[in-house]
Structures are given as C-alpha cells and as structure tokens.
Structure 1
Amino acid sequence: MPTTNALPSPTTNGHLPAGPLPRTREEVTAYVRERGVEFVFAQFVDMHGKPNAKLVPAHHLDGLFDDGAGFAGAAAGDIGQTPNDPDLEAMPDASSFTPLPWRPEIARMACDVHVLGEPWGYCPRTILRRQLARAAALGYEFKIGAELEYFLVRRRADGGIEPADALDTLEQPCYDMRALTRNLDFVGDVARHIDALGWDNYATDHEDANGQFEQNFGFADALTTCDRAIFFRYMVESIAQERGLIATFMPKPFAHLTGNGCHFHMSLWKDGVNVFEAPLDEDPNGLGLSPTAYRFLGGLKAHAKAYIGLTAPTVTSYKRLVVGSRSGSAWAPVHISYGANNRTQMLRIPGPGRIEDRTVDGSCNPYLAATALLAAGLDGIENELDPGAPTGSLNLHELSEQERVARGIDVLPANLLDATRELERDDVLRAALGSNAKGDYLDYFVGVKRAEWTRAQEQITQWELDRYLQLY
C-alpha cells in the first residue's frame, strides 16, 4: 500500500451509457435487455440503513417484479422479524432503477418490504411512503437535498485507522485545494458516477477534517433523495474498497476532528410551487420564508429533542454534537435554534424557501429521518406553531449558560439515552412511524437503541483506563 500521497487505482473502469434511466417496469425490462445488464440487486434496508440485497439474474426479472425477492427477515437485521416469522418479500420499485456506473452490467432497485403480500410496517421505506402520502393528502410534496460527508481512511497495522492521504495533516484542511488534488482520482470517479446517473453533481470539496470529503448532488422528492443517499453510501464504500481503502459515514470516527453530517435541506411544494418561499420584503425577518415555512420551523423546534433520536441515531452521534474540534469549530448544533446563514444554528436558512436541519448525521436511516422531520413540520403547520424569533448572527457556540437561559434557547439531548427518552413520549412521531400487530414502531426502535446504548456503556475505554486506573 502507498504510504504518501498516491492512492491506489480502482480495479474496474465501468462506463455507463448516456441517456435517461428507466422509470417503469416496461422501461426497466427494455433497458436490461438492450444494455446487456446481467444481474439486478433487489435491495432494501433495515432500521440502521444497512443495504440488504439478493443478486437476481436478468432472465428472472419478471419474477422479481411479480413476486419480489424472498428473505429470512430475522437474518437481515433489525426489521421487526424473529426466526419464526414468515419470509419477507422485497418488492422492487422500478422508478429507483440504478445501474452501477463502475459495473454497468449490474443494477439495483430499491424495494419495499412486504410480508404475506402486505406492506411490512417495519420497513423504513414503507414508513416514509406513508408519511409522504399524508403530506400529499394535504396537498404537499416534500423535497430534500442531502449533504453526505465521509472520511476516506485506511487501516493501520495496529488495527486503528488514519486518513488515506498521509499528507493531509493541516490543522485547518477545509477546502484545501492541494488535498483535493491529491485525491482527484477517487473523488473524480465518484463525481463522474453521480453525473452518469443524472443526479447532477454540482460540487466536491475537502471538508473540515483531515481525510473528509463532501460531494453534492441535486435535490429531489424525499423518497428519491433517500434512495439516492442509500446508493451513494454504498457506491462510495464500494469504490473505496476496490482501492483497499475504507470510506466511512460514521458520525465521529476521530475524537479530535469534525464529524460527518448528512444535512437535510427541506422544502414543501404545492402544484409545482415552493410554498416555503416568500419575497424578502414580505418576510419580517428578511429570510425569504413564508408563514407556512415558519409554522414548519415551529414544528421542528417543538419536536427536535425527540426526532434527533432518528436523525442522530447512534451512541457516536452525540460525540459529533459538540462545540469545538481541532479546526476551532465542530460545525454541529447543540442548541434548538434557527436563523439565517449561520452554521452554529440547528436550523439554518441558507437562502429563501428552504430549511437546513444540521442535526442529521451520516449514521441516519434517511427514510426514518425524513419521516420524522416531515411529521414534525406538518404538526407545526396544522397546529400553527410559532418558532419564535430567529437568533440571527449570534455565535451560539460561544454562549454562556447564563446567556442561553436568558435568551430562552433550549439545548439538544446530550446522548442517545436522553434522546430515546424524549422520542418515547412524542405522540406525533409515534403516529408517524406507525404500528402493526406487533406494536408501535417507535417502541421497537427505542428498544433497539436502548440496547445499543447499554452495550456501549458496558465497554471500558482507553480514556477511562488512562484517567482512573491509577487515580484511585
């Protein structure tokens, strides 16, 4: 393995034919036949967003569309099944058809999980579909753009990790042109693949931490963006592995560096019009937001302590949600606030007509995160919740406790356990996540996350040994 700036070359060099991707069963069937696609991944996710799949030969495509791909659900992860349950069927959504740009003879389709022919209430994609249908009944379409940050690392001989680029050592490496250039082979391949899929890669940058990158693509309806987020993580990880590297979206892989966000930029649309947007001179706060957007903000603020259990769903997530890092800022929220182009806010308004939620991190299941944010926002609209005044250009990371209290600014939960306690008693999110004969999905989710918290608390870390072994 190289020990300086050069990264290994990929083992494959696929080429995705130009042209729009198919969106219907008939179009998929024709594309597979005409383009020589040999296999299709029937892919679904568990609670944690882990992609599960079966590789289906192209000559069995009709059977896949008709009957789905069968799985032993209890073996696939946390998706509400035990070994005695009937198999789940992954039913493909033709509109999600995605060729692998680096292996164009392979494609994937995102699937909705069914059991005994009925939609399965523990399927995250199905949960989001139901909340989107609720929004549609109110006349709204929910659109999201997602900013997925990741680290490119390699394993050391001792089992630890380090940035793959040994020269990436600056204390403030964000936007460093030289580090970006050294990694052009990797990020350039990813960018070309994004464009080949028609997602519109509009920027690639070196992020705030050593070895960290962000590659942006255009926004879309929420279901499409979530499907793309799952595929993007899979694609980046696969391309890294082909080079003998690891790409990780883990919220905080290095204690001293900034963590990985997955910020969601949100808007509601009606009849092709963004109903969040208003002329700047019609918004008393000058943010370019409509009354509908402010009520949506009110809902987000009201439910933030609970929904963060879904947008930042791991033990490590809360190690990202701190004030400082090596570069001087963690660029992550700790307060429940909103305001203009101010990256210390939880809810940033980067421009008229959209809201950025910065609690969302790289470990989220995007379907569940989108469900929670939409449910919270719709509650704000339906109940006309007031978000209060924006906090403006104030650097919230410099607030003293006394100043925070005086300004009436609340704080986010400090750990996963506290977040699950808030989530457990939020009836709006409970309803949004749904229920079936086995119970409420929210209780299932909380149970899994509480067990995760307990396992983490049972570990003895090196910090504890260093701090306490000879102190007592």
Structure 2
Amino acid sequence: MNYTMNEVLKFIKENDVKFIRLAFCDIFGTQKNISIMPDELPRAFEYGISFDASAISGFMNVEESDLFLVPDPVTLSVLPWRPSHGRVVRFFCNIKHQDGTPFEGDGRYTLKKVIRQAEALGYNCKIGSECEFYLFQMDEKGMPTTVPHDFGGYCDIAPMDKGENVRREICLTLEEMGIKPESSHHEQGPGQNEVDFKYSDVLTAADNLVTFKSVVKTVAARNGLHASFMPKPLPEKSGSGLHINISLFKNGLNVFNNRGKEYGQIPEEFIAGVMAKIPEMTAFLNPLPNSYTRFGKFEAPKYITWSHQNRSQLIRIPAAEDEYCRMELRSPDPSCNPYLAFALVVQAGLEGISQHMQPLPAFDANIYEAEHDKLHGLALIPESLNSAIKLARESTFAQHVLPQKTLDKFLSSKQAEWDRYNRAENKEQFERTSYFLNV
C-alpha cells in the first residue's frame, strides 16, 4: 500500500507501533538500519535522522561524516516476526546531506535517476526477480554447518524436500509485508530453494529483493537453519542465481509482447544494449570471487548469447503471453546490490534502444553440449572478478550511470577483496570464511 506522510503518522498511532526501523543499504547492498521511537518520526520526515556515514562502507570520510535518513512513506511495512503488541515497522530511506540534497552514493537515488530517464523516453520498466538460496543445518551450538537441509532435487516434494514449510512461511511473511511472491520450489542443489516474484516497478523490485533476503534469513533462523545467498556455497553443486525478468511498457503496451509489431525492433534493441554492456557491468552483477565459479555449469551462462526459452543462454525470452512477455537475464547472483544492478541493466537497455543496436542472431543450441567450432568467436562473460573490475574501471558507461566516487570506492574495495582472495592458499576456505555467513 502506498502511504502518504499523514497516513503513516495516523497508522503509527492507531496500530500500537513502538519501534520504527529506518533501513538503507551500503554501496554493496548490505542492509543497515537505525531504530527510532514513534515520537521521532515527524522529525525524521521533516529533517531526517543523522548517522555516522564514515562508518558505512563506501559512504563518507570522517571529516564529513554526517548524512541523514529520510523515510520514504510508501515503503511502510510492519515486520510480522516482531511482537503484535508494541509493533515494529520498517521504512526504506532516502539518504540526504544536511542541506536536503540527495547523497549521490545512495543506490536508491542512482536507480531513481535511471527510472526518470526511462520515463522521459516514454518507457515504464517492470522487473520480476527469481532468487535462489541454500538452507543449511546448524550444529549443537547453534552455528551453521555446510550440511544441506535436505538432499532433494528440482521440484521435489516431501519428504525429499524438507524446505516446503520454510518456503511457505517465507511466502506468507512476504505477503503480510505487501510483497507478492508468484511461486516457490525446491531447486537443483541439495537444500537449494527458489522464490519468484510478480513483476513490479523497478524501485519496488529492488526494495523487495533487499526485504526478501532479510525475511529468508530471519525465517530460516526461526526454524533452526542457516540461509546463504553465497553464489556457489557447494563447489560441485548448482550455484544460486538472481534471474532478472524485465518487461518494458510504452503507452500502456508491453513492447516485449510484440505480436502486433507496434514497436518494431525495440525488444531486440533493448536486449542488444544489455548484451553490449554485460562485460562492463559484471563486477556489479557478480561482485564476489565466488560468483565466477558458478558460470558455465548447472544452467548458469558463460557466453554472451541469447535465445528463446533456452536456459543455457545469458538472455532468454521465456514462453509467456501478454503482460508476462519479457526478457530474462540469467548472469546476476544474489550477492549484488540490486539498486546498482538494476540501474545498470535498465540503462544499458535504454542505450540499446536510443542507438538502435541489433543483437547477434539467436544461438538456439544447448551451449553445454554444443561442438567447439560452434562456440568459436562467441564473446565470454568475464571469467574472474579481477577481469570484471578492469573492464568496469575502463567503462565510460559505468561512469555515466554511477557517481564517480561510488564507482571508485566500489571497485577499489573489490580489488582489495580480489587481492586477498588471490593470496589465499586455501581459496575455498577464504570464500567460506568471507561469504558463507555474511551473504
């Protein structure tokens, strides 16, 4: 539900709300929050609540550390797992300087700028994400193990699938928060699950993904399990992807539903733009060294190709009708910052349209089984985080979409992360220590 500021203040008074969480993300997409009491909410709306931005990765320096959180009233959500008496609500916030100007390092602000550009061109973009994750058992001390919750496979049912009750609780919790999951199922890997979302506007889709990750971890913990969004937590098993389904509307019509040819080549131009910029975006879509161990296996792409329905491709056009016609980008993983990822992908597609780009012909073969000569000459997704960082540093496209300070801080941090990974004697142990608990 979209609330106005006055409606929010009334809701807080009438619904026994005692704590208010002001949520935001650092430049890596990690959710943070400050809690305030209800009496402070009017001040938060008018002036914002200050916080030490020098303590947040990639934000400010010590000598200029104050930023302000201003709650976005349309993002009001009750946290269902908190007590019904003395309720807790959460807002996503806009981050601002003291003079009220937007903080350029705020991922929501970056995404809003891209959305405005799309609207200026007459387009309304929608995103529905499909997010995979693993559930692991805990030991007798309550610490996560690497033992999967179950050993089921794709779309298995109980008793092989032990995650159905957890997924049910996740989906019901999301519904209570106003988020609409479309479907859920057991994925290919042992203990691996997937939840798919109904499409929404791009900013809401990014907010919902951040919320989803917190809900999954919270519900898993309530059930004595550990949830991990690490891209490849089990080396020989399926990796976890974040498939981004994108549709584009103009004058109320979905241009990907192009049966009447009203919009000619626009869908292919959008796809061509995304494909052209994938090498420069990959550091943001796949920001961990572990991300790159997923590519080329278990339906995760390796080459920059597209096709209809073919799950071995970077981009596929799923079989769908009317408003559900879309493109699906299959390379990103859940460790990305959705605000930056969505901003880059949408902007790339818009540039494809404005420059009338044309994609290469569809590659309809199964890439995993294709003969080597058929693969010769196909462009590759960057094969390591180090390669992706180099391409992002040289990218005028990334510099156009992202603030220079954010770009520099993000890539410098990721370069240091890669260097630590590269020096590690036991790289699998480094990944597990660095990402298994935290992603």
Offset of residue 276 of structure 1 = 2.5
TM-score, L = length of structure 1: 0.84
Pick closer, same or farther for the CA change 1:169–1:239 going to 2, 3 Å: closer
After alignment, is 23-32 or 362-371 more displaced?
A: 23-32
Say yes or no: does 1:446 pair with 2:419. Answer: no
Alpha-carbon distance change, 218 to 107 in structure 1, aligned in 2, over 3 angstroms: same
Q: Which residue of 2 aligns with 1:355?
A: 327
For residue 264 of structure 1, what is the aligned residue in structure 2?
244
C-alpha distance 463-181 of structure 1, shift in aligned 2 (>3 A): closer
What one-letter code is carried by the residue in structure 1 that aligns with 2:220? A
Question: Structure 1 155/455 Cα, relative in aligned 2: closer, same or farther at 3 Å?
Answer: farther
Q: Name the counterpart of 2:305.
A: 337
Q: How does 1:146-185 map onto structure 2 within 5 Å?
A: 146-156=129-139, 161-165=145-149, 168-170=150-152, 173-179=153-159, 182-185=162-165
Question: Using the alignment, how far apart are the partners of 1:60 and 1:322 within structure 2?
Answer: 51
| Pairing partner for 1:377 from 316, 337, 349 | 349
Contact 1:375 1:428 in 2 (8 A): no
Q: Give the Cα–Cα distance (whole angstroms) in 2 for the partners of residues 23 and 319 of structure 1.
A: 43
Q: Which of 424, 433, 438 is the equivalent residue of 2:402?
A: 433
Alignment of 1:107-122 (within 5 A): 107-116=89-98, 117-122=100-105
Q: Which amino acid aligns with 1:212?
A: Q
SS at 2:21's partner residue? strand
- Residue 458 of structure 1 is matched in structure 2 by 423
**Pairs aligned (count):** 421
Task: Please tell me whether residue 106 in structure 1 is matched to residue 88 in structure 2.
Answer: yes
2: CA distance between counterparts of 1:451 and 1:53?
Answer: 26
TM-score for the superposition, normalised by structure 2: 0.90
Q: Is the 8 A contact 2:148 2:190 kept in 1?
A: no
Superposed CA deviations along residues 437-467 of structure 1, whole A, max 9, x for unmatched, are xx4x323322121111111112111779xxx
Letter in 1 for 2:304: I
Measure, in 2, the Cα distance between the counterparts of 1:247 and 1:137: 40
User: Using the alignment, how far apart are the partners of 1:307 and 1:179 within structure 2?
Assistant: 41
Please give the per-residue CA displacement for 1:281-306, whole angstroms capped at 9, x wherever unaligned: 859xxxxx951111011101111111
Q: 2:269 aligns with which of 289, 295, 316?
A: 295
* CA apart distance, 1:242: 2.8
Contact 2:163/2:191 (<8 A) preserved: no
Structure 2 counterpart SS, 1:38: strand
Give CA deviations for 1:281-339 in whole Å, capped at 9, x if unaligned: 859xxxxx95111101110111111111111111111011132xxxxxx1201010111
Question: 5 Å matches for 1:55-70?
Answer: 55-70=35-50
Q: What SS does the aligned partner of 2:10 have?
A: helix
The residue number in structure 2 matching 1:420 is 389
User: Any conservation in 2 of the 1:175–1:207 contact (CA below 8 Å)?
Assistant: yes
Q: Is the 8 A contact 2:58 2:409 kept in 1?
A: no
Alignment-mate amino acid for residue 420 of structure 2:
R
**Which amino acid counterpart does residue 249 of structure 1 have in structure 2?**
F
Counterpart in 1 of 2:219?
239
Distance 1:186 1:137, change over 3 A: same
Residues 220 and 180 of structure 1, relative CA distance in 2, 3 Å threshold: farther
The residue that corresponds to 2:366 in the other structure is 395
Counterpart code for 2:39:
H
Question: What residue number does 2:432 align with?
Answer: none
- The CA distance in 2 between the partners of 1:418 and 1:179, in whole Å, is 43
Shift in alpha-carbon separation, 1:160–1:93, aligned structure 2, 3 A: closer
1:399: Cα distance to partner?
3.1
Show the counterpart of 2:188.
208
Q: Give, in whole Å, the separation in 1 of the partners of 2:253 and 2:261.
A: 17
Alpha-carbon contact 1:251-1:361 (below 8 Å) kept: yes
Residue 156 of structure 1: how far off its partner (Å): 4.4
Find the aligned partners of 2:423 and 2:63 in 1 and give their Cα distance. Answer: 30
Per the TM alignment, residue 68 of structure 1 is displaced from its structure 2 partner at its CA by 1.7
What does 1:38-77 align with in structure 2 at a 5 Å threshold? 38-77=18-57
Distance 2:51 2:221 in 1: 26
Aligned pairs (5 A) from 1:298-309:
298-309=272-283
Deviation at 1:379, TM superposition (A): 1.1
Paired with 2:102 and 2:411, the residues of 1 have a C-alpha distance of: 22
Aligned to 1:93: 72
1:409 is the counterpart of 2:391: no
Partners of 1:396 and 1:430 lie apart in 2 by 33
Runs (4+) of structure 1 exceeding 6 A deviation are 157-160
Where 1:398 maps in the other structure, the secondary structure is coil
Is residue 303–residue 426 contact of structure 1 (8 Å, CA) maintained in 2? Answer: no
Match in the other structure for 2:434 = none
- Rounded to whole Å, the distance in 2 between the matches of 1:180 and 1:70 is 49
CA-CA distance at 1:344 after TM superposition: 0.2
Deviations 1:347-394 (A, max 9, x none): 0101353110001101010001001101111111111111021112x1
Identify unmatched segments of 5+ residues in structure 1: 1-20, 284-288, 324-329, 465-472
Residues of 2 paired with 1:179 and 1:57: CA distance? 45
Give distance in 2, aligned partners of 1:84 and 1:460.
38
- Among the aligned pairs, what percent are the same residue? 29
- RMSD, aligned CA: 2.2
Q: Contact 1:252 / 1:259 at 8 angstroms: preserved in 2?
A: yes
